[in-house]
Amino acid sequence: MNSADLGRRVGVPSTALFTDQYELTMVQAALKAGTASRRSVFEAFTRRLPEGRRYGVVAGTGRVLDAVENFHFDDEMIGFLRQQRVVDEPTLQWLADYRFSGDIWGYPEGEVYFPGSPLLRVEGSFAECVLLETVILSILNHDSAIAAAASRMSAAAGGRRLIEMGARRTHELSAVASARAAYVGGFDATSDLAAGFRYGIPTVGTSAHAFTLLHDTERDAFRAQVDSLGRGTTLLVDTYDVAEAVRAAVEIAGPELGAVRIDSGDLLLVAHRVRQQLDELGATGTRIVVTSDLDEYAIASLAAAPVDAYGVGTQLVTGSGHPTCSMVYKLVARAGSAEPDAPLVPVAKKSLGAKSSKGGRKWAARRVDEHGVAEAEVIGTGAVPEELAGRELLVELVRGGEVVAREPLEAARERHVSARAGLPLSAMQLSRGEPVIGTEYA
């Protein structure tokens, strides 16, 4: 069963200290000023996509829900804050009782987004909402960056199998989150067992060059692996001489050999030679897996090669050059007083540069053309225009502090396939370009 079904929390006692100090000091000042309980609306969005990207991918929503649910200050944390004199005693007492009790709406996980898209809308008192800024952004910025890279690689792979192999290239916990985000973005499996355990992602793995070097001969290594793991295993054939290794692999495993992996050299040339050799040896069903610092461009360059699967590590877990999405979390509306029925007032930062924002509690909808292809991201406040009814993008995630939209990871993965298919074909181009559809404000 997927951990999304189980509601398994993150592997830490609490997420409450995954935050910046100024969020707590703002709460202290707001409590003293009497404004902490004012009803407020915060939104997470990005002002621009990473340079050259044509669409973004929402990922990490399920992890955000876990983080919000697990955001509480235990006695040890309160003791730390007291010892460090981060905030005063009345604020510590308020924090000790903290549980988010507001509402959260957002783009469902796997959906695509564009500049200005209100990806997450958090509503409640000012104090309870402002505390969540850093943990929400740290998850969405990281996971969405990985998912966007994975989506581009998935498009470039053209249906061929993709394996996430980046655990050794990043922090051990971000490796698990990266595998999850990659799965949402279109990858099929991961080498990371923690990701398999926590999220139910299929796991794969056979051997490294060290296993071959351990044995006196390459044939001894192959024989040991086949004897242990069966003929369907994947043998690594580029430790010494590729042609000799392929010949030995088929002799030992027979034509039932599952796959061979190539991890170095001119992958396009070597893949063609290996495919020809396998076929000549009768191993027509043996698959070819390639690895070696792949990104979406390298994958696309191998489109004409007889490759069955790609293993991707470094470039995937670093967002293929864009490790963050530059998302921000801004107050966009707040009540004029602490009265429960006080009307919301739109608020926004004014800036001479590129950091201005638009105030108001927003909705978003995607307008499509007569063929059902997306043509604009429409964002507005107030009532949704009749012609966009049924095209709204935000869904309810948390109601009154209770998670109401936890879902299996497979649902987010399938949603992304559908969302990407609804974009213009130019979205799949790897060349640099502007967002594939524009953002309009109603």
Distance of alpha carbon 237 from alpha carbon 216, whole angstroms: 16
Return per-residue pLDDT of the chain as tens, 442 residues: 344 444 444 456 699 999 999 999 999 999 999 999 999 999 999 999 999 899 999 999 999 999 999 999 999 999 999 999 999 999 999 999 999 999 999 999 999 999 999 999 999 999 999 999 999 999 999 999 999 999 999 999 999 999 999 999 999 999 999 999 999 999 999 999 999 999 999 999 989 999 999 999 999 999 999 999 999 999 999 999 999 999 999 999 999 999 999 999 999 999 999 999 999 999 999 999 999 999 999 999 999 999 999 999 999 999 999 999 999 999 999 999 988 889 999 999 887 666 778 899 999 999 999 999 999 999 999 899 999 999 999 999 999 999 999 999 999 999 999 999 999 999 999 998 999 999 999 8
Sorted by sequence, the CB contacts under 8 Å of residue 42 that are 6+ apart come out as 121, 122, 123, 129, 130, 132, 133, 329, 330, 331, 332
Residue 292 Ramachandran class (φ > 0 left, ψ -120 to 50 alpha, else beta):
left
| 165 lies in some domain | no
| 219 lies in some domain | yes
| 58 lies in some domain | yes
**What's 420's domain CATH number?**
3.20.140.10
Q: Which residue has the tokens 């949704």?
A: 384
Residues 281, 334, single domain; the answer is: no
Q: Could you say which of 272, 307, 342 is where a domain stops?
A: 307
What total number of domains does the chain contain? 2
| 263 lies in some domain | yes
Range of the domain at 301: 206-307
Distance of alpha carbon 290 from alpha carbon 163, whole angstroms: 10
| 20 lies in some domain | yes
Residues 20, 132, single domain; the answer is: yes
Q: Could you say which of 253, 276, 307 is where a domain stops?
A: 307
